[in-house]
Amino acid sequence: MRFLGLLVIGMVVCPAQNTKQLPEGPGRKTTERLCGSCHGFGNFMRKRDTRDGWNNVIEDMIRRGAKGEEEEWAEVSDYLVAQFSPVRVNVNQATAAQIAEGLQVKAAVAAAIVKHREGNGAFKGFEDLGKVAGVDVAALEARRMFIDY
């Protein structure tokens, strides 16, 4: 039991730090070097965002102390956009898991979206999504162009 407890604590404290590899592509080496010194890549391999969104993350990381040259950041930005852009999500057809991943919402919110369409019929547009309890319309606005109905 004690061993198990330590194992669990270990997993919480260092969540698979360097076991995750970034996908192959132009700019990967630079991204590994500039983004890998403080944390693993797991936290952003799950993230999907637009160019603006990724550039905000980069600025945030620079404020937190990330170091690099102007042209290196441009390379990192291109890499992140090429690898981790939002996928299109059809909110009338996708499963709750696909909605959670595609729209980057919590599982409970994705489940509420599915439940809402089952109870009220298909979503006709973005405004309809705002009627679902728990949906943060302001946060979803950034993904609006990737949502199909």
Write down the residue that tokens 């852009």 correspond to: 85
Residue 103 binds ligand HEC (CB under 6 A): no
Q: Which is nearer to ligand HEC, 39 or 92 (CB)?
A: 39
Give the C-alpha separation, 142 to 146, whole Å. Answer: 9
- CA 46 remoteness from chain centre: 5
Q: How far is the CB of 58 from ligand HEC (least distance, A)?
A: 5
> Judged by CB under 6 A, does residue 39 bind ligand HEC?
yes
User: Which of 14, 31, 13 shows the shortest CA–CA distance to 22?
Assistant: 31
Binds ligand HEC (CB under 6 A): choice among 22, 27, 30, 44? 44
Site residues for ligand HEC, window 53-72 (CB under 6 A)?
57-58, 60-61, 64-66
Q: Which is nearer to ligand HEC, 67 or 115 (CB)?
A: 67
Nearer to ligand HEC, 28 or 47 (CB): 47
Among 43, 93, 95, 120, binds ligand HEC (CB under 6 A): 43
Residue number, nearest CB to ligand HEC:
35
Residues in the chain, total: 149
Residue 147 binds ligand HEC (CB under 6 A): no
Element holding 13 (H helix, E strand): helix 2-13
Rank residues 22 and 89 by Cβ distance to ligand HEC and give the closer one: 22
Helix (H, G, I), strand (E, B) or coil at 147: strand
Q: Give the pair of three-digit tokens for residue 45.
A: 């391999």
> Phi and psi of 90, rounded to 5°?
-95, 110
